[in-house]
């Protein structure tokens, strides 16, 4: 599992800010923070005991590029704007995108580590991703020479409409 996450390292831009939602035991966020010390990683985990575990691991490893936040991703929309959001085994793509895309800066990308379901999930979520402000959605494989099968990642890139769409949804909810 660690190698499955580590091979995705090249999908992160140099010096990026990133948030890993549903971090759990630290996959992939903690692993990526270790192999990419130039990336500022925020591990987002809603369960307190898991967040506490992540805090301990970050301290034990002496990682200075990692923050742990005990919260749900959807509660961070007004406080987090990152270049990359990562997730592994959190939810189907459409639901995951609803949580992740509002956290992305313009031009940011969601890296959803998926297995054999990637093609099916992209097809299911295509219309919703477009409505949410995705400008592209591709499937890439990493680590052919290291892990078998290679790590399959759905890469969703966003345009400027993501934050605008979130603002409209929030205003509509508040108007009720």
From the list 167, 145, 28, the residue with the least C-alpha distance to 84 is 28
Q: What DSSP assignment string belongs to the chain?
A: -HHHHHGGGGGSPTT-EEEEET-TTTTTHHHHHHH-TTSEEEEE-S-HHHHHHHHHHHHHHT-SSEEEE-S-GGGGTTT--EEEEEEESSS-HHHHHHHHGGGEEEEEEEEEEE-TTHHHHHHHHHHHHHHHTEEEEEEEEE-TTTSSSPEEEEEEEE-THHHHHHHHHHHHHHH-
Write out pLDDT tens, residues 138-165: 999 999 999 999 999 999 999 885 555 5
- Asked if residue 108 has pLDDT above 80, the reply is yes
DSSP for residue 91: S
pLDDT of res. 125: 97
pLDDT of res. 171: 45
Helix (H) or strand (E) holding 33: helix 29-35
Total-model pTM: 0.90
């Amino acid at each position: 599992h660690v190698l499955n996450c580590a091979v995705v390292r090249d999908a992160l831009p140099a010096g990026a800010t990133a948030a890993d939602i549903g971090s759990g035991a630290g996959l992939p966020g903690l692993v990526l923070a270790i192999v990419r010390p130039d990336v500022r990683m925020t591990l987002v985990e809603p369960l307190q005991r898991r967040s506490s575990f992540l805090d301990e691991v970050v301290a034990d490893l002496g990682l200075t590029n990692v923050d742990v936040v005990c919260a749900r991703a959807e509660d961070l929309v007004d406080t987090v704007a990152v270049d990359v959001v990562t997730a592994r085994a959190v939810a189907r793509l459409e639901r995951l995108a609803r949580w992740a895309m509002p956290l992305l800066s313009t031009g940011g990308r969601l890296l959803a580590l998926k297995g054999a379901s990637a093609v099916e999930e992209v097809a299911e979520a295509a219309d919703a991703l477009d409505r949410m402000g995705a400008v592209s959605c591709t499937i890439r494989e990493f680590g052919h020479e290291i892990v078998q099968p290679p790590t399959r990642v759905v890469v969703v890139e966003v345009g400027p409409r993501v934050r605008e769409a979130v603002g409209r949804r929030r205003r509509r909810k508040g108007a009720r």
